[in-house]
Amino acid sequence: MFRTTLKWLAPLGLALFILGCAPQQHVVSIQGQTMGTTYHITWVQPTKPVERLTLQAAVDTRLEQVNDSMSTWRKDALISQFNRHNFDTPMRIDDDFVRVLEEAIRLAHLTDGALDVTVGPLVNLWGFGPDGRVTSAPSSLEIAEAKARVGVEHLQLNGEFLSKDRADLYLDLSSIAKGYGVDVVAEVLEQRGIHNYLVEVGGELRLSGHKPDQKPWRIAIEQPDEDGREVFKVIEPGELAVATSGDYRNFFEENGRRFSHLIDPRSGEPVNTRLASATVLAPSCMTADGLATAFIVMGTEQALALAEQESLPAMFIEKSPEGYKVHYSSAFLPYLGETNP
């Protein structure tokens, strides 16, 4: 599912801030492109320094493996092969695919279907998928027909073999795979002895350790506006990943009504809540990524209730006539920075 994430306050800007606090040779940054977006990585050099170009080559190779597994934009990717696959026989998938799909199925059950990686037919129907934009909302009959093709219950994962009970099932892991991309980059860094770092892919983040001055990494969350990049809150995530999802940048309008790109798999229609953005912290960016999307679909009340029930650190920014109203789960409060705008 195509989705827009709220991005942290300029990865390169943060890197320059770090350089101002310590000798330049202690901090290294690289950037590149992946998954239709960009990545930025900043790390503090370990005792045995890691050469930046060598590390970037390793990162690019690993991200290409993830794309070859789960990019629906690549016709020869495993996921594209599965979407074309005859449903009568199981298909073997790789370890990356298995890890992401297992978590996607777990989150689908946890969120009562608010996150569903088979929602592709509905996303395409509303004009937010590879089929391109639409100029008018689909009919109730078209929505019902697309909904019949949606549901993780149509998937069966047995070890490394994946099957489906509908030939027309369309699997799209983009609501969770970008977070997984952050996780695999973090694994590359850890394997090379780098333990103080910040990884960002398309606005999704994972942090570890601290800056050279021994202070924690601090992340700025954007105000959920269509224009500009004004800081709303500053947080200190510690050793956790951060993902933020919102519905304010990708939409179309018809007869005065705005239709969000985030589709509720349960209703078959774009989300229609006051919740403008949801930020989630989790040990895995894959998990944070999926939950942030699900929380927008669920709306503030249901999402906050689930966050409290599962002790999930989450922040919700709601639209109101008076401006923005923020809600925190109890588990989120320890991560607020000392100063906030």
Contacts of 101 (CB under 8 A, 6+ apart): 93, 117, 155, 157, 162, 173
Q: Is 314:328 a contact under the CB 8 Å cutoff?
A: yes
Instruction: Estimate to the nearest angstrom the gap between the alpha carbon of 321 and the chain centroid.
Output: 29
DSSP annotation of 336 reads B
Residues 309 and 306: their CA atoms lie apart, in Å, by 5
Q: Is 187 helix (H, G, I), strand (E, B) or coil?
A: helix
- CB-based burial of residue 26 (10 Å sphere; 0-12 exposed, 13-18 middle, 19+ buried)? middle
Residues 235 and 297: their CA atoms lie apart, in Å, by 24
Residue closest to 96 by CA, chosen among 32, 179, 153, 40: 179
Percent of the chain whose pLDDT exceeds 90: 65
Q: Is 251:261 a contact under the CB 8 Å cutoff?
A: yes
Q: Which two tokens stand for residue 260?
A: 């969000």
Domain tally, the chain: 1
pLDDT of residue 247: 61
pLDDT of residue 186: 98
In CATH, what number is assigned to the domain containing residue 150?
3.10.520.10
Residues 182 and 175: their CA atoms lie apart, in Å, by 13
Q: What is the 3-state secondary structure (H, E, C) of 66-94?
A: HHHHHCCCCCCCHHHHHHHCCCCCCEECC
Contacts of 66 (CB under 8 A, 6+ apart): 35, 96, 177, 180, 181, 184
pLDDT of residue 225: 62
pLDDT of residue 326: 92
Q: Is 200:8 a contact under the CB 8 Å cutoff?
A: yes
Task: Render 194-225 in DSSP notation, one character per residue.
Answer: --SEEEEETTEEEEES--TTSPPP-EEEEP--
Domain that holds residue 249: 1-341
Segments of the chain with pLDDT less than 50: 1-23, 25, 228, 248-256, 340-341
- CB-based burial of residue 334 (10 Å sphere; 0-12 exposed, 13-18 middle, 19+ buried)? exposed
Task: Render 255-300 in DSSP notation, one character per residue.
Answer: TTEEEES-EETTTTEE--SSEEEEEEEESSHHHHHHHHHHHHHH-H
pLDDT of residue 259: 52
Residues 13 and 2: their CA atoms lie apart, in Å, by 27
Residues 218 and 237: their CA atoms lie apart, in Å, by 7
Residues 165 and 174: their CA atoms lie apart, in Å, by 22
pLDDT of residue 75: 92
- pLDDT tens-digit series, residues 221-258: 877 765 546 778 899 999 999 999 876 444 444 444 55
